[in-house]
Amino acid sequence: MIMNYTKFSPCDTRIEINSWQVLEEPAQIVRHAVFVEEQRIPAELERDSADADCIHAVAFDADGQAVGTGRLLPLPDSVMKLGRLAVLRSWRGRRVGQALLQALLDAARGQGAREVMLHAQQSAASFYREAGFEPRGEEFMEAGIPHLEMVLALKSGD
């Protein structure tokens, strides 16, 4: 892991970028609440072997409780895949999601990525569009939920 750092976002949360080894516990608290309990995605689909290879972000509230998370998986050809972005329901609509997204895009730039791609749940496509992502290809099903591939090219010096 080349980077780990903390930044303060405008929504009273602190975002930490670090390895799975460091962030597994807080990231899993949020992912379990959002994907397994709320969205009913089977726990065995939610967990995969990619976590150890990813850069993770966790947003913590003022009491140090995890309220949001996301991850970046390095792929060949300087592409990174953003995924598992989740904010606890009680924290939604306060820009924690956009702050996590921007922190992960900064991390991707820091790794020299030329493109970030993701599989967006259809309902969240407008959230990613706001950050400049464009859809690529047709809608498809993943974990029983309609998804769209979306991409953002990172210009050098961005």
Ligand X SMILES: CC(C)(COP(=O)(O)OP(=O)(O)OC[C@H]1O[C@@H](n2cnc3c(N)ncnc32)[C@H](O)[C@@H]1OP(=O)(O)O)[C@@H](O)C(=O)NCCC(=O)NCCS
Find the binding residues for ligand X in span 93-152 (CB under 6 A): 93-98, 120-121, 123-124, 126-127, 130
Q: Is 14 in the site for ligand X (CB under 6 A)?
A: no
42 Cβ contact list (under 8 Å, min separation 6):
36, 143
Nearer to ligand X, 112 or 144 (CB): 144
Position with the least CB separation from ligand X: 97
Nearer to ligand X, 54 or 120 (CB): 120
Q: What mask of x and - would describe binding to ligand X in positions 16 to 55, judged by CB under 6 A?
A: ------------------x---------------------
Whether the CA torsion 1, 6, 51, 154 is positive or negative: it is negative
Q: Is 156 in the site for ligand X (CB under 6 A)?
A: no
Burial class (CB in 10 A: 0-12, 13-18, 19+), 41: middle
Burial class (CB in 10 A: 0-12, 13-18, 19+), 136: exposed
> Judged by CB under 6 A, which stretch of 20-28, 42-50, 79-87, 148-156 contacts ligand X?
79-87
- Two structure tokens written together for 107: 């991390």
Comparing CA positions, the residue from 153, 106, 108, 155 lying closest to residue 132 is: 153
Q: Is 154 in the site for ligand X (CB under 6 A)?
A: no
Please state the length of the chain: 158
> Least distance in Å: CB of 149 to ligand X?
11
Binding site for ligand X (CB under 6 A): 34, 85-87, 92-98, 120-121, 123-124, 126-127, 130
